[in-house]
Structure 1
Amino acid sequence: MNTPSLNDLIELGAVQDAQGLQGQIKVRPHSSDPVALLSSKELWLSLIPRRSAGVAVSHEQASLKLYKVKQAKMHSGTVVIALDGISDRDHAEALKGARILVAREVFPKTDDDSYYWVDLIGCKAINLQGESLGEVIEVNDNGAHGIISLGDAKTKTVKQLVPFVKEAVQNVDLPNRLITLDWQPDW
């Protein structure tokens, strides 16, 4: 299998530490409901070499390595994963800080009116009057619900924060990359 570009993969979490003596890793997921991470049969680890003598390391220097997942389960707010080829605590500790990435196409199918946040990024947002509100730059969780940041994707300038709730979100058309909101540009 060819090694994909970092742009072709979705980051789902990071290795926080080793777990136990058998080589499991403890992953800090980026989502409060890490269904894609728990269901992945294989994942990529992005290992960034350690800094030496104050020299910065670029993303291009990060190495990607594919691993088969033997087991993944939730444990105290983290995901504990057993990987093929990682059989002891020393190997697992060497992965500390690695980013966990998977291909978007292996995510489980969503229910109607459910969306992966990564799919919303880059969608154009309009209101019920057809006025442009900007593009979705990022999606965050405030604990009660998601919040989409709208603005200029080129400059990453956020113009508005809109709650991603059914009262504000009237329609999400992922094939056309368009979200219709009950929202005004000056709110």
Structure 2
Amino acid sequence: MPDERILMGVVGRPHGVRGLVHVHSYTAEPADLPTYGALLDDSGRRWTLVWRGDGVAEMRDEQGRPLPDRNAAEKLVNTRLSVERSRLPKTEDDEYYLADLVGLAVMSAEGATLGRVTAVHDYGAGASLEIAGEGQPILLPFTRACVPSVDITAGRVIAVLPEEVVVATDAPTTAAGPDQHPA
């Protein structure tokens, strides 16, 4: 089973001088992030947040104390906020959390093994899968065109690699220097 915590958001840069922070929410509706209750950081500290503006929140520690100032807010930049998986709604048969994809085998439409999903990234323009196999990891957009099938029960995804993506093959037989191309 995937990690028992699901990433729900990340603390961004401070906002002003009174301890407020920008928070990037990964929930379907960003405003819903506080409804999950206490959020855990990677060291297990519990935080609650109250939205104070569009994407701007007041963070409160376990004792209910808000961050006192900008310096305290700066120390939380890039803090990952998670919840225990058991606090999230159950998924429908054809639904899953992105965290469920990590560890799945990645197969081509022809049945060739391409590797395993090692991470799911989302930098704001849509999710991408990091796939480790032979050679360098591949970053694949998590779109229907590139990932037409996800089967959590079978433990695999089907991937259609764009033509620009080259998977590892045997090394070329012609040696070339650093400024030369093989013939």
What interval of TM-score do these two structures reach, taking the shorter chain for normalisation?
0.5 to 0.7
Counterpart secondary structure, 1:129:
coil
Deviation of the 1:66 alpha carbon:
3.0
Partner of 1:26: 21
Label 1:110 to 1:82 Cα distance change in 2 as closer, same or farther (>3 A): farther
Change (3 A) 1:171 1:13: same
Asked if 1:14 is matched to 2:8, the reply is no
3-state SS of 2:144 partner: coil
Aligned to 1:138: 119
Instruction: For 1:93-112, list aligned pairs within 5 A.
Output: 94=72, 96-97=75-76, 98-109=79-90
CA distance in 2, matches of 1:111, 1:25: 36
The answer on whether the counterparts of 1:128 and 1:183 sit within 8 Å (CA) in structure 2 is no
Shift of 1:82: 5.2
- CA contact under 8 A between 2:59 and 2:67: conserved in structure 1? no
Once residues 107 and 23 of structure 2 are traced to their aligned partners in structure 1, the CA distance between those partners, rounded to angstroms, is 35
Deviates more, 1:95-104 or 1:173-182: 95-104
For structure 2, the 5+ residue unaligned runs are 168-183
1:40–1:141 distance in 2 versus 1, CA, 3 Å: same
Offset, 1:106: 2.2
**Count of equivalent residues:** 158
> Judging changes above 3 Å, is the alpha-carbon distance between structure 1 residues 141 and 93 closer, same or farther for their aligned structure 2 residues?
same
1:131 CA displacement: 0.7
Retained in 2: the 8 A contact 1:86–1:92? no
Between the aligned partners of 1:109 and 1:80, the Cα distance in structure 2 is 29
With over 3 angstroms needed to count, the CA separation of the structure-2 counterparts of 1:108 and 1:100, relative to structure 1, is: same
State the structure with more CA Rg: 2
2:63 pairs with 1:85? yes
1:84-112 Cα distance to aligned partner (Å, 9 max, x none): 63345528964641542321232345577
Q: What does residue 162 of structure 1 align with?
A: 140
**1:39 — aligned with what?**
35
Q: Is 1:66 equivalent to 2:46 in the alignment?
A: yes
C-alpha contact (below 8 Å) 1:127/1:182 kept by paired residues: yes
Deviation at 1:8, TM superposition (A): 4.0
TM-score, with structure 1 as normaliser: 0.59
Deviation for aligned residue 1:26: 2.6
**Aligned counterparts of 1:74 and 1:171: Cα–Cα separation in 2:** 40
Contact 1:15 1:99 in 2 (8 A): no
Taking the aligned partners of 2:36 and 2:152, their CA distance within structure 1 comes to 23
Higher normalized contact order (CA 8 Å, seq sep 6+, divided by chain length) = 1
Q: Structure 2 vs 1, CA of residues 183 and 109 (structure 1 numbering), >3 Å: closer, same or farther?
A: same
Whether the aligned pair in 2 keeps the contact of 1:124 and 1:177 (CA below 8 Å) is yes
Q: Report SS of the residue matched to 1:119.
A: helix
**How big is each residue's C-alpha offset from its partner over 1:112-138, in whole Å with a ceiling of 9 and x where there is no partner?**
765432221211110111111111122
Percent identity between the two aligned chains: 21
Conserved 8 A contact 1:117-1:139: yes
